Amino acid sequence: MAAKLNVSESSESDSPNLSNLSACSRTGSRSLRVAEKERRKNGAEEPFVLALKYFSNVEAGTPVIGNDEFERNMVLVEQVAYFKGLSPEAISVMLEFAMSSRMGTNPCVRVLKCLIPTTMVPQEAVVRGVAWLGVGKIPISSQVLFIKWVLTIFDMIDAKDQLRAIYGFIFSFVTEESLCPFICHLLYLLTRKESDIEHKMYLLFPQGRQPFLSHLLSLYKVLCPELVTLSIPSRMRSGFRNHNSPWKSALIAVQKSNGSQTDSSTSLPLTIKEKTSLRKRKHKHLELPVLSSQVNKQPQTEPFTSRKVVPLAQLHSLSQLLENMHCIELPAQMGSLLGSSLALQYLDCVQDESALLRLNFWLGYALNEEFFFCGDGGGSQTSEEALQFLDKLLSSQQFLQEGFSSTEAFLYKFLSVWDGSLFRPQILSLLSNIPVVPNSQIGQLLFEPLMQLFFTSSLFFRCGLMECLNNMLLKWLTWHSVYALEDDLDISLNSHTSINMTLSGFKDSVMELIHFAGRLGSVGLQLEGCHSLLLSFILDFYETVCDTFLKYGLPLVVMPPPGVFYPALFAPDPVSVDRLVNIMYRYKVNLTSAKSKEKQAFHISRQTFREFNHYIVVMVNCLWNSKMFQPDMGIQLGEELLLKSNIPEYWASFDLVHHPAFLSYAVDFHQRVSADHLDGHDLCLHSKPWTWYLEFLNSQGYDGTGFSLFPSFKNNASYTEYGQHLCFISAMLQNGFQG
C-alpha cells in the first residue's frame, strides 16, 4: 500500500528515477528518498568493493607503471579514504597490499598515506604489517612511514595484546638507526610491567643517549627501578617529537565529517609532555584557569594565624558556602570563577575590589588576545572556542546582573573594528550589559561606531541593535531605581575606581541614549520601508521609554520622534497601531502623575507637553474622530491635492474602520453583526454599533484601540458618524458581493 503510494507520488513529482521501483517495493514502507539514497550509496560502494578485491587478489610482480587498472582502483580508494575514511577490513586489505610489496615497493608509500581509518584499525593488520618489516623488502623510508602511521593511529587499534606479545620482535628494530626514535616511541606506548624489560635494557645502552632512548629508559626505570642504575636526567627536552604525520589533518577531517564525537579516537598518541607544551598555545588564553586554592600564601604576621580558611574549590553547594562565608579563601586565579556559579555568588557578596580587578585583568587579557592580538585566529575551531567563551562570559554577567569593566573596555575598542556580524548575538548582549556611560563620552565611544554599523548592516543587525539598546536602557533604569532610593538623588562616588555621576549626569546619559535610539529608529524605518519587524523592536524600546518616571522613578519623559510615531500610527498591522496607542496611554499616565507632583518631583519642559498633546490630537483625530488632514494637525496636504486623489471622505481614511490595519476587522465585525440580527441599514442609524465595534476590537486583544485605555473619547460627540462609516463598509461589501 505504502509502496504504491510512493510510486504514484514519484510519478507525479516527475522523479527521474523510475528505475528504482523494484528497490522501492522491496524496502516496503520506506520512502522513495531513502531508497534512492541507499541505491546511490551502494552504487558508490560497489566499485570500491571491486577495488579492494583487486588489491587483495593482485598477483605478485604485476607492473605498476602504465597499469591503468591499478591507477583507477588506487584513485578510488584514495577518494573514499580522504572523504570518509576506510573501514577496518579495507585497512587490512590495503595494509597487507602495501607491506607485502606485491607490486614492488613504489605503491607502498602511496597506500600508507591514504590509510585513514573511519573507526578503528584491526590489531591483526598492524601485527602483520610489523611482521612484514622483518622480511626486509621494504625500503627504510617506507618502514619509518609505517611506524609513524602506527603511532598516529595507535589509539584506534582495537586491542593491543598481540602487539605486546611481539614486544621483543618490535624491540629488535631499535638497532636500526633511522627507525630507532619511532620504535622507541612505540615501545614506550606498549611497555607494561610484564614486558620483558630485563633483556632489553642491555641492548639499549650502546645506542647512545638520545632523548628518545632516555625517555624509554626513564619508563623502564619506573617499572624496574632495580635494573636501571643510570641516573636519568629529569630535565629532558620535549619528549618524543610530535612526528608531523601526514595523516593527522585528514584523520581529523574524516572524523569531523563522520560526526564522531569520541574524543579518545581523535586524540593522537602524543606524549604527555607534548600535550602540556605549546601545541595550542595561540588559543590558550581562552581556557579558563582551574579553580585551585591560593599558592601564594602571605606570611602570617598578624595574630590571627590560627584562622582557618576554606578554599573556594572545596565548596560544592550553596549551603556549604553560607556556612563558611566568613572564612572563604579566594582562588589563586580569579579567572576560574567564571566557570562556577557558586564562586560567582561569593564574588557578588564580598565585593572585593582586588578580586574583581584580578578577574578583569584576566578577562580583558583573554578578550584582547582573542579579538585583537591574535592575528590569524580564523579557523572554525577557534570561533567555536570563542563562542563558548563568550557564552560563558554572558551567562556569568547575567548571573551577576552586571557587566565586567574589562568587557566594557574591550567593547569600546571592538566596536570600531567590528563588522557587525561576527558573534552578533553575543556581542550585542555584552553591549547591553555595559554600565551608564557619561554624557561626554557616550557619543564617541558608543554612538559613532554603532551608527556606522547600523547604516551599513542588514535588517537583522538593525533589529538586534534596537533590542540591545532597549536592554541597555532597561538595565540603566533598573540600576537607577535600585540605587537612587538608597542614597539621595546624588549618585556620587569617590572611590578611586569609579566615576562620579550625579543624577542630572545620569539623566543626560539616558536622554542621549533615547534620542540616539530615536534617530536610529526614524532612519531605520525609512531605510527599511517601515518594516514591521523593525517597527516592533522600536516599539519595544518606547514601551520602556514611556514608563521611565512611574516604573523606574527617573524624572524624565522623552517623546518619540515623528519618524517613529507616524510610521507606527499608519502601520499596516493592527498590533503596531495598538501598541502605539498603549504607549501613548502610558505617556499620558506618566505625565499626569508627574504634573500632579511637579512641585516636588521635577520640571517637565513645555515642549514635551506640546509634543505629547500634538501626538494625542493627531492620533485621536485619525483613529477615532475621522478628522485627518485638519489644518491644525501636523500632517497637512493641500485641499486640491486631496480632492484630486478622488478618495471619498479622505478625512476618514485612517479611522479605526478604514485604517488598513483594521479594515479586515471591520469587515469581520460587519459580517458577524449582520448575520446576527441587524441589517446594514440599521447600523447606519444606530450609534451603538460603534461601541460594539470597539468592544469587538477589545475582545480581539486590541485593548488600546478598543477604547479601554482612552475611555474619555467615548463621549465624543462625533461618534454617531461611525454608524455611517460602518454603513460605508456595508455598502462596500454589498457592492463587492454583487460585483
Report the site for another protein in 532-561 (rule: CB under 8 A).
547, 550-551, 553
Q: Which residue has the cell 632523548?
A: 211
CB 296 → another protein: shortest distance, Å? 5
- Which CB atom, from 495 or from 715, has the smaller least distance to another protein? 495
Which one among 305, 306, 497, 715 touches another protein, defined by CB under 8 A? 497
CB 313 → another protein: shortest distance, Å? 13
- Which CB atom, from 22 or from 596, has the smaller least distance to another protein? 596
Residues 77-136 that bind another protein (CB under 8 A): none
Is 234 one of the binding residues for another protein (CB under 8 A)? yes
CB 14 → another protein: shortest distance, Å? 50
Residues 477-496 that bind another protein (CB under 8 A): 478-479, 481-489, 491, 493, 495-496
Q: How far apart are CA 722 and CA 728, in angstroms?
A: 9
Is 344 one of the binding residues for another protein (CB under 8 A)? no
CB 674 → another protein: shortest distance, Å? 43
Give the C-alpha distances (Å, rounded to integers) separating 94 from 88, 98, 100, 131, 282: 10, 6, 10, 15, 38
- Which CB atom, from 401 or from 671, has the smaller least distance to another protein? 401
Report helix, strand or coil for 258.
Answer: coil
Residues 18-77 that bind another protein (CB under 8 A): none
CB 366 → another protein: shortest distance, Å? 8
CB 404 → another protein: shortest distance, Å? 8
Q: Which residue has the cell 621483543?
A: 168
Which one among 245, 260, 333, 674 touches another protein, defined by CB under 8 A? 333
Q: Which of 517, 524, 572 is nearest to 545 (CA)?
A: 517
Report helix, strand or coil for 341.
Answer: helix
Q: How far apart are CA 374 and CA 367, in angstroms?
A: 10
Q: Which residue has the cell 584499525?
A: 121
Which one among 88, 107, 117, 364 touches another protein, defined by CB under 8 A? 364
CB 26 → another protein: shortest distance, Å? 56
C-alpha cell at 326: 566568613
Are 51 and 34 in contact by the 8 Å Cβ rule? The answer is no
Is 319 one of the binding residues for another protein (CB under 8 A)? no
- Which CB atom, from 110 or from 279, has the smaller least distance to another protein? 279
Handedness of CA 649, 650, 651, 656 (dihedral sign): positive
Report helix, strand or coil for 329.
Answer: strand
Rounded to the nearest 5 degrees, what angle is found at the Cα of 414, between the Cα atoms of 411 and 419?
A: 125
- Which CB atom, from 81 or from 386, has the smaller least distance to another protein? 386
Residues in the chain: 739
CB 143 → another protein: shortest distance, Å? 28
Residues 643-682 that bind another protein (CB under 8 A): none
Is 195 one of the binding residues for another protein (CB under 8 A)? no
Which one among 190, 232, 252, 663 touches another protein, defined by CB under 8 A? 232
Q: How far apart are CA 102 and CA 55, in angstroms?
A: 9
Is 209 one of the binding residues for another protein (CB under 8 A)? yes
Q: Which of these ranges, 55-63, 105-113, 218-226, 639-647, lies near another protein under the rule CB under 8 A? A: 218-226
CB 146 → another protein: shortest distance, Å? 26
CB 363 → another protein: shortest distance, Å? 7
Annotate each residue in 245-274 with x if it binds another protein (CB under 8 A) or - if it does not, as one string. --------------------------xxx-
Which one among 369, 508, 682, 703 touches another protein, defined by CB under 8 A? 369
- Which CB atom, from 59 or from 488, has the smaller least distance to another protein? 488
* Total of chain residues touching another protein, rule CB under 8 A: 92
Residues 397-426 that bind another protein (CB under 8 A): 402, 405-406, 408-410, 412-413
Radius of gyration of the chain (CA): 39
Which one among 351, 380, 605, 712 touches another protein, defined by CB under 8 A? 351
CB 718 → another protein: shortest distance, Å? 33
Which one among 21, 601, 642, 663 touches another protein, defined by CB under 8 A? 601
Residues 558-597 that bind another protein (CB under 8 A): 593, 597
- In order, the DSSP letters of 135-150 are H--S-HHHHHHHHHHH
Is 383 one of the binding residues for another protein (CB under 8 A)? no
Are 363 and 407 in contact by the 8 Å Cβ rule? The answer is yes
Rounded to the nearest 5 degrees, what angle is found at the Cα of 446, between the Cα atoms of 445 and 450?
A: 130
Q: How far apart are CA 229 and CA 537, in angstroms?
A: 77
Kindly tell me the burial class for residue 66, based on how many C-beta atoms sit within 10 Å of its own C-beta (0-12, 13-18, 19 or more): exposed
Handedness of CA 180, 182, 188, 189 (dihedral sign): negative
Q: Which of 383, 333, 326 is nearest to 355 (CA)?
A: 333
Residues 284-303 that bind another protein (CB under 8 A): 285, 289, 292, 295-296, 298-299
Which one among 11, 388, 441, 645 touches another protein, defined by CB under 8 A? 441
Is 241 one of the binding residues for another protein (CB under 8 A)? no
Q: How far apart are CA 319 and CA 644, in angstroms?
A: 78
Residues 452-481 that bind another protein (CB under 8 A): 478-479, 481
Is 277 one of the binding residues for another protein (CB under 8 A)? yes
Are 10 and 22 in contact by the 8 Å Cβ rule? The answer is no
- Which CB atom, from 349 or from 422, has the smaller least distance to another protein? 349
- Which CB atom, from 194 or from 486, has the smaller least distance to another protein? 486
Q: Which of these ranges, 17-25, 311-319, 333-341, 655-663, lies near another protein under the rule CB under 8 A? A: 333-341
Q: How far apart are CA 31 and CA 5, in angstroms?
A: 10
Q: Which of these ranges, 245-253, 354-362, 382-390, 537-545, lies near another protein under the rule CB under 8 A? A: 354-362
Q: How far apart are CA 328 and CA 305, in angstroms?
A: 15
Residues 153-192 that bind another protein (CB under 8 A): none
Strand partners, 117: 86
Q: What is the 3-state secondary structure (H, E, C) of 546-614?
A: CCHHHHHCCCCCCCCCHHHHHHHHCCCCHHHHHHHHHHHHHHHHHHHHHHHCCCCCCCCCHHHHHHHHH
- Which CB atom, from 273 or from 519, has the smaller least distance to another protein? 273
- Which CB atom, from 155 or from 402, has the smaller least distance to another protein? 402
- Which CB atom, from 53 or from 237, has the smaller least distance to another protein? 237
Are 662 and 653 in contact by the 8 Å Cβ rule? The answer is no
- Which CB atom, from 496 or from 606, has the smaller least distance to another protein? 496
φ, ψ at 116 (rounded to 5°) = -110, 110
Is 221 one of the binding residues for another protein (CB under 8 A)? yes
- The upper half-sphere exposure of residue 383, i.e. CA atoms within 13 Å in the direction of its Cβ, equals 9
- Which CB atom, from 3 or from 342, has the smaller least distance to another protein? 342
DSSP state of 166: T
CB 351 → another protein: shortest distance, Å? 5
Q: Which of 585, 580, 558, 559 is nearest to 568 (CA)?
A: 580
Are 261 and 252 in contact by the 8 Å Cβ rule? The answer is no
